Structure 1
Amino acid sequence: MFSEPRSGRLAAWGNALLAGKVSPDDAALAIVGDDTVHRVAGLPGEAAPVGLTLALGRLRALGVSGFRVALPAPGHPLGLSGPPEFNARALEAGEAVVGFGAPHGLVPEVREAGPTGDVHTEVVWHCLAVRQAPPADVPSLGEAERELAEALWDATAALTRLDIAGAGPAAEAAIDAYRARAEVLGSGEEVLAPGYPPRAVRVLELARRVGLLVSVAQAAEGRSVAGAVSASELAARSAVLRPVERVARRARVAAYNAVVEEKERG
């Protein structure tokens, strides 16, 4: 099911901290979210992993003045700028944070332990060298907003073509989750950290909606695989969903990176 990337939380609240909009403790609390603990390993000058508050302060001292997000997928190095080692680790994780102003990036490693119903999630962010270069395939906020408007139409049409009513409990649960999440998004929930421009907030909210719609369609499609849907029909559905999901990912990266893009322009 669709969920927000941990790299998005770290970049957004890290940028708010660097801008003096939030305290270090508030930033760390927001980044950890529902996880048990976050630590950062491999920081220059630190022999062992350290907590988020210390890590964010150390990165600022090292010259990092902003954080970007990368959400790469196979064949699509979205938000990455190299070198190959960092890109490979980020692709394996499906996400990363790229420092702006100094060549340091963070890739999360998620570890879970404990019995069902009492799982503890620990995240270790590995600090690695990054190349200070323009990130790959990240659109402007204006471009992302235009692409999303078209993608939302495509995703809705794809859902309409799927037999949601007969797709089973998995798809129905996905629909219920989408509706609940959409209500939360429409209730004024803070979708980005303080200091982000209103357009970035709007783009991220719309990207979330598109991503949720895609996840609903994928849940229904997965159920259809077990039924009598033809291979050509499944291929047609996938052909519709793939570019929609790509647009949503690009827009999310553009929204999270908006603060750094403003710094570059300013």
Structure 2
Amino acid sequence: MRDLPAGRFAVWSTAWLNGRTSYDEALDALLGDAAHRVAGLPGTEDAVPLGWALTALRSLGEQRFRLVLPVPGDVRGLPSVPGLAALAVEAGQAAVGERLALVPEAAGPEAVLWTAFPVDGARPVAPPVEGSLRRLSGELDLAVSDAARTLAGLDVARWNPEVPALLTGLSQATAPGLPADHDSLALSVLGRAQRLAAVLDLATADAPGAAVNHAQAAARDDALRPLAHAVREATTAAFNWIPRG
């Protein structure tokens, strides 16, 4: 399953900027066991530690970041600045604020390099489309039901025995590592979406011995596309949830 450092950055930097968590707690959650550096930050010539960049956000006037999960043909939520869309689509993720957009790239097994894009002067863009968590939770369940028939028909479990294990107890899945005041429904939606993202990775991988031919693979991908869309929307909304009021 693909890691989403941009999601963690969006949720934890926003919590810190809004005074809902401490700097140390936010930084610990963002760093994990990896070394993070940020290139392209205004006023810097070289890449700086992520903690330095986090401190700079307030002086830049940032108030919140949103996770954007762009795919080819759909880059909604990304400001139109040179180089941003191409890099964000390649990474499959970006954290977008009012003054900066940041895109993470793996720079080795334990290192992440972030590229910062100043977005001052860029035409304002609408945030990524986000429905209510309750609606997206229901759409995720419906997409799972439809996809289950496809997975069974392809006998995915035969070459990917991890799939049944991921689907077992799906309704009880939750996402760890988010701020303490994060909505319980958002945690549930994100936990299910993360498991289903792993299922999609396994289900769309070619089976050993070419058990799925080209035509079958195309039919499989078409059938699973609604689930992939539901996972993408649910993941975005869950990471971007903030308390109201």
The whole-number CA distance in structure 2 between the counterparts of 1:152 and 1:20 is: 37
The whole-number CA distance in structure 2 between the counterparts of 1:215 and 1:8 is: 19
The whole-number CA distance in structure 1 between the counterparts of 2:129 and 2:173 is: 32
Residue 209 in structure 1 maps to residue 192 in structure 2: no
Structure 1 residue 56: deviation in Å?
1.0
Residue 223 in structure 1 maps to residue 207 in structure 2: yes
Partner of 2:31: 32
Using the aligned pairs only, state the percent identity.
Answer: 36
Match of 2:166 among 174, 178, 182: 178
Partner of 1:51: 49
Structure 1 residue 237: deviation in Å?
1.1
Q: How has the CA–CA distance of structure 1 residues 237 and 98 changed in structure 2, closer, same or farther, with 3 Å as cutoff? A: same
Match of 1:111 among 107, 110, 119: 107
The whole-number CA distance in structure 2 between the counterparts of 1:154 and 1:239 is: 12
Contact 2:76–2:126 (CA under 8 A) maintained in structure 1 = no
Deviations 1:202-223 (A, max 9, x none): 321222232233223223xx10
Partner of 1:10: 9
Partner of 1:126: 115
The whole-number CA distance in structure 1 between the counterparts of 2:41 and 2:32 is: 22
The whole-number CA distance in structure 1 between the counterparts of 2:170 and 2:142 is: 23
The whole-number CA distance in structure 2 between the counterparts of 1:45 and 1:238 is: 45
Match of 2:61 among 54, 60, 63: 63
Residue 96 in structure 1 maps to residue 86 in structure 2: no
Mapping for residues 227-238 of structure 1, pairs under 5 Å: 227=211, 229-238=212-221
Residue 157 in structure 1 maps to residue 137 in structure 2: no
Residue 147 in structure 1 maps to residue 144 in structure 2: no
Structure 2 unaligned blocks of 5 or more:
none
Aligned residue type for 2:13: G
Contact 2:175–2:188 (CA under 8 A) maintained in structure 1 = no
Aligned residue type for 1:85: G
Q: How has the CA–CA distance of structure 1 residues 194 and 81 changed in structure 2, closer, same or farther, with 3 Å as cutoff? A: farther
Deviations 1:213-242 (A, max 9, x none): 3223223xx106713x45433222111112
Contact 1:96–1:108 (CA under 8 A) maintained in structure 2 = yes
Classify the secondary structure of the residue corresponding to 1:39.
strand
Partner of 1:41: 39
The whole-number CA distance in structure 1 between the counterparts of 2:6 and 2:208 is: 33
When the two chains are superposed, the root-mean-square deviation of aligned CA atoms in Å is: 2.7
Classify the secondary structure of the residue corresponding to 1:109.
strand
Deviations 1:11-52 (A, max 9, x none): 1111222233332222122112242x0011221122322222
Aligned residue type for 1:106: L
Match of 2:234 among 239, 243, 251: 251
Structure 1 residue 69: deviation in Å?
0.5
